[in-house]
Structure formats: C-alpha cells, structure tokens
Structure 1
C-alpha cells in the first residue's frame, strides 16, 4: 500500500505543478501528462472532444468479462483561478509536500482524486475478466468555467457506455453529497429610451429601470418545503451603459434561482416572469423586458441505499469513518448527470483547506484510507471477489 500511496502523491504533485486554470490556461499540458501516465501503464484510454474539436477530457474504459452495469469515477483536472497570488504563503503551483500537506491549486479540487482514480484503474485492469460490467474513469476539464465541457463530451460520446452511476472525486472526509438543489438561470434585458445625461428633459435610463427590477426580484417570496435546503433567488450581475454622458437604452440582469422538488424549474421560471410582468406594468418601458433562460438543471437526491451511494458509504463505514450523506446548495456535475437520469455522488476525499481560495492544500495522512474506501466501493459495484 505504501508504494501505491507514494505513486499517487507523485502523480498528484506533477498535476498540481501543471497550471490548468479553467478558461485561463491551456489544458494541453495537464492532459498530456495524464496521457503519458496512462499509456506507460497500458491503460485503454482516449480523448474526448467538444463540438469545436477541442480536447476536453480523457476517458479510461475497463470492460469486465461478465455482464453487468458500468460505473464511472470522475475527477476534474482543471482548477479555479489563483486569485491574488500575493495572498498565498506559497506559490499557487507549488506541488510540494510540507508537514504532510500537498500544497497548491488543484490539490483539493480535484487533482489528488484524479491521481487516486488513475491508480485504481491500473490496479483493476489486470483483473478485468473477473468483473461485472465495467469501470470508466473520466478526467475532465472545462469544469470550473461552469460549461462542464468534458462531462458533456462524455455524455454525448456515442462510443461511451452510459454508466449506472458516477462518483465525483471532490474533497472532504466527513460528507458525501448525494443530492443538490437544482437551478434555473436567466438573463433579463431591460429597455429604456436613450438620451443625454445633461439634457433639459430627464430621461429614465435602462440602468435606473433595472435597479427597480432588482429590488422587486429581491423582495419576491419563495415557498418553503421539506427539502433540506430552501429555494433561493439571487441577482448575481447587472450591467449596462458605456460612459458618463449617455443615458443607456439597455441593461442586463443575471438571475440565479435554486430549485427544489417542491419548487421546480417551471415554478422558478413562472416566478421570475411574474415579477417581470409586474415590473413592466409599474415602470413602463419602450418594449417589454426580455427573459432569456440560459440553464436549467433539476434538483436531485439519491437515497442512502441506492448505488453508488451505498457502496461508497458502506466502504467508508468499514474504514471506521463517520460519513454523512448530504444535499448540497452549490451546483456540481451531479446536477448535470441527474438531468440525464444518472445517479451521482460528489465529495469524499482528503481533508482540505483553501478550496478556491488562497493556500489550497490537502492532508495526505488520510490518503491510504481514502484510497481503500474507493477501492472497496468499486470492487463492490463490479462484483469483484
């Protein structure tokens, strides 16, 4: 086990030392690093491409010799931005180990998980004939942009076997995410007459109208239900105008609504459109406010005894870990998978600090147990002796 753990750490360090910030860095170097590692071990893998032909992930596929369902381990290898590098006490791409902590952007989210999953694939592959179904390992990028390009390419790939469930390797030793609020997002376009700010006749511009609409959205009442987290409506951005002297004729508002089973996608859209209709009646403009939906994912929840949650939670309990199943507020790839009818867990990994902030790092002391938990869960799912 010590040899495996050492090899996992070595690969994770290389990955952290290879910057792959979502939407900022070229993903080629980090994917090439993984390709070399997989090829050297003879693991069957191929590139996944988006509709423009850009490589957005690697897919390892290990087919069992016996009939059964396929399961997927997923870890993104792009990362959040560094933010203010001066706020870090070490270089953001350090990739070193100090006092048992692997340090650097991506150590927690989710390059260490990618290293673990690669090693699990290498361990399982020689015994593939004994397995039921199959195991896929998805190493995706374009996750931190919110586009989930790698995951979407996987789901759209006609050659990939659709899995019965996915375990997403986000960090955290005491919780497994088995559900999440859904989301409905839109862009509202507010219109007004254009004019000059110094004109004798006052013109109410689009920004001023939009500010009134933001207030009405903030005051909108949302219902409550017995879901672990309540619905929420948040205005996340507003933009319009080009200078000081011109009263703008257009302003855009971005709205994020988090949904639940009792307040779903249709209800979210109906609420926002109702507020917009009332706004246009109270503060008339030259034309109605535009409502353009840009994303919609359903809320989901996987019961404790359903796979792959049961296998992961049982394996954790077998290692003496008290792991709680939870419903998350933030969205993740699990929501995207739920929209495709695929069960997903997210989380369970190493203890961490600085996720998406300064001084991101993970505690390697728990790496042997985390590795054993995933190994046992995968063996249970594949019916391995």
Structure 2
C-alpha cells in the first residue's frame, strides 16, 4: 500500500501517535525528518508546552505556506469506538482514527505533495513553507499565534496560506473555506438577593434579571450578513442559578454565551449593545468577562483561490463552493498579516466524533490536489 498510497501511509503513522492537545507525540519530528530530506530548512519552536514547526524551501519570491496542526481532541471512551482510535485501521476503504479527518490526513497529504514538488522542481520559483502546531484544538495561545509573532520579528511575510482543515461537505473538495466569522465569548454573573419564593418583595431574583437580558440578546437582530457571511448569531451555551431547592429565590445567576459575527460587526459594536441592555435590566455591564477568540476574515478572490479551483477541477472534475461557515481556525492569526488564506481538506462529517473516519483513497487524492495547487503558484 505504501508504494501506491504514500500519503495514506504517512497519515496512518501520524494517527498512531496519540497527540492530544498540547502533546505532539513525535508527529513533528517525523515530518521534520522528511522535510529536511526534501531540502527544507526546519525550525522547531517550543513555546510554553506547545511544539511548533516552521520549515521553508526556496531562495526568494512569494511565499506559499502549508499550515495545519498535529494535535487532536481527546478520543473519548475507547470502548465506544469500532476500532482503536489510535490504530489507524483501514476497513472497507475507510480510514478510522482520531485525527483522520481533523487533520492528520491533510498534513500527510501536504508533506507528500511538497516532497513530490521539490523533487520535480528543485529550482522552483518562490518559496514553499510549512507551519505546524500542536495547539490548534486547545487554547491556541502558544501555537500559530505565537509562531506568527516569531515570523513578524524575523521580517517574514506569508503571501498565500493553505490550511488543511476539513472543509469538504458531501464530496472531496466540494467546498473551500475562504474566510471565517469572528468569535466573541462572554461570561456574566448577575448578583441579586436570595430569599423565600413566598416573599419575593424581600429578595432580588438574579435569574429573572439575567433571563431578561438573555431574551433581549436572543431577540436582537444583529445584522443580515452579506455576500460572503451569514448573519451574526448569538447563542447561550451555559446557564446556572439556584441551590436546587424549590422554595428559594436565587441570589446569583451565571451565564456563558457566544457571538459568531460577520465583518458587519466588531467586538466593540457587540459590547456596546450588550451594555445598553444590561443597563435596562439593572445589571452591571462591567461584571461581564469578555474573550475575543478571533476577528472575522475573508479572502474574496486572488491567485490562491484561482489555483485551488483549477487543481480541484483537474483532480475531481467539479467546481467548488466558497464558504465562511463553521467554527474558528488558525487562519484568524494568519489572515490579518495580509496573506490570502483558504482552507481545503477532507470531508468533515465525522470530526470530533466517535469513529472519526474518511475515505482512505481521499488522502492521496488530496495530495494530488495540493501538488497541483503548489505547481500553479510556484512552478514558474
């Protein structure tokens, strides 16, 4: 199988390394060895508890970065899996394992595509780079974010960035993510006064005031989206109040909520609306703890999207849909530098699930797409 499916075999080798965030479990060492053999200069970057890798080949010109992560989410109860989550079994044409879709198969496909390209075009135009981290599924503080600061200090600029996140929906490469919504998180504790439910005049129901605020935020029409982004959405993810007793008015109430927002909004514009609603319900807006996970970004067009379309047409015979749906990705740390950024990877139907899997044949097919894209941008 290795001769005919080198990317699949590398994907299986990576899946067998249980690299649960922030552990890398030797994945980057395996990749670094292969990239060095292909003529890449490799920097291993350790920030905090996180392993990162930066590798570059080529002398000068535009820089195309292949980016991804070697860490995976926990497998959960192994006994619920049909096969060992870290055994990388291929059964009935399907590759099973934690990271099969998200995103060790993409990383393997990128490495094999780069090896082939370097062998065919040792004096290629431009530069080809890898940016890998073991902190994408976690806090994402000491991963790509930190590497981008390191690159900035060196005066390094990425022109094009291809992330291998699982973007496909129904068939391989049917969707390219050309942007992502921003993500704003908030935690609030509303302080009231505990009391007996039969004497509400002697208490201050914190939950009632919090529910009033959440109702207003849920009913608020944030925007209508635009040609690239769906409307901004608000979701409550956690709610806690009371002691469990039926006859007590809660004196405290806590909530956690999130906005996925388009460029029509900003963290500041959302916070201003929330502040007004808080004042209307007698809630101190300064009691809210805010965390901005990422700003929205978009690559509306350009050489990278054009190259991806042609590569997909060549290998899959179909056009693609551009989408900004889904959660955040490390593209949020790369796009603000001015780079064209897209995400292109395998089907995402089973990501973060028990029995995560993709079609085994898709790994080397994806390597072919990546190779064609690299050729389009750097061959001449």
For 1:21-36, list aligned pairs within 5 A.
21-22=20-21, 26-36=23-33
For 1:142-291, list aligned pairs within 5 A.
142-147=135-140, 149-157=142-150, 158-159=153-154, 161-171=156-166, 172=168, 173=172, 174-193=174-193, 195=194, 202-204=202-204, 206-227=206-227, 228-239=229-240, 250-280=252-282, 289-291=286-288
When the two structures are superposed, what TM-score results if normalisation uses the length of structure 2? 0.84
Rounded to whole Å, the distance in 2 between the matches of 1:358 and 1:90 is: 10
Rounded to whole Å, the distance in 2 between the matches of 1:296 and 1:36 is: 33
When the two structures are superposed, what TM-score results if normalisation uses the length of structure 1? 0.83
The CA RMSD over aligned residues, in Å, is: 3.1
Q: Secondary structure at the match of 1:276?
A: helix
Judge which range, 237-246 or 325-334, deviates more: 237-246
Residues 1:225 and 1:189: Cα distance change in structure 2 (over 3 Å) = same
Q: How many residues align?
A: 369
Residues 1:38 and 1:243: Cα distance change in structure 2 (over 3 Å) = farther
Residues 1:365 and 1:290: Cα distance change in structure 2 (over 3 Å) = same
8 A contact 1:79–1:109 mirrored in 2: yes
8 A contact 1:218–1:233 mirrored in 2: yes
Residues 1:154 and 1:363: Cα distance change in structure 2 (over 3 Å) = same
8 A contact 1:48–1:153 mirrored in 2: no
Compute the displacement of 1:215 (Å): 2.6
Q: Secondary structure at the match of 2:211?
A: helix
What's the counterpart of residue 380 of structure 1?
Answer: 376
Match of 1:358 among 343, 354, 358: 354
Compute the displacement of 1:16 (Å): 1.0
Rounded to whole Å, the distance in 2 between the matches of 1:362 and 1:309 is: 24
Rounded to whole Å, the distance in 1 between the matches of 2:326 and 2:210 is: 27
Compute the displacement of 1:178 (Å): 0.8
What's the counterpart of residue 312 of structure 1?
Answer: 308
Rounded to whole Å, the distance in 2 between the matches of 1:289 and 1:29 is: 44
Compute the displacement of 1:205 (Å): 5.1
Which structure has the higher relative contact order (CA within 8 Å, separation 6+)?
2
Residues 1:128 and 1:219: Cα distance change in structure 2 (over 3 Å) = same
8 A contact 2:71–2:133 mirrored in 1: yes
What's the counterpart of residue 321 of structure 2?
Answer: 324
Rounded to whole Å, the distance in 1 between the matches of 2:243 and 2:54 is: 45
Judge which range, 242-251 or 226-235, deviates more: 242-251
Q: Which runs of 5+ in 2 are unaligned?
A: none
Residues 1:266 and 1:365: Cα distance change in structure 2 (over 3 Å) = same
Residues 1:54 and 1:326: Cα distance change in structure 2 (over 3 Å) = same
What's the counterpart of residue 20 of structure 1?
Answer: 19
What's the counterpart of residue 85 of structure 2?
Answer: 92
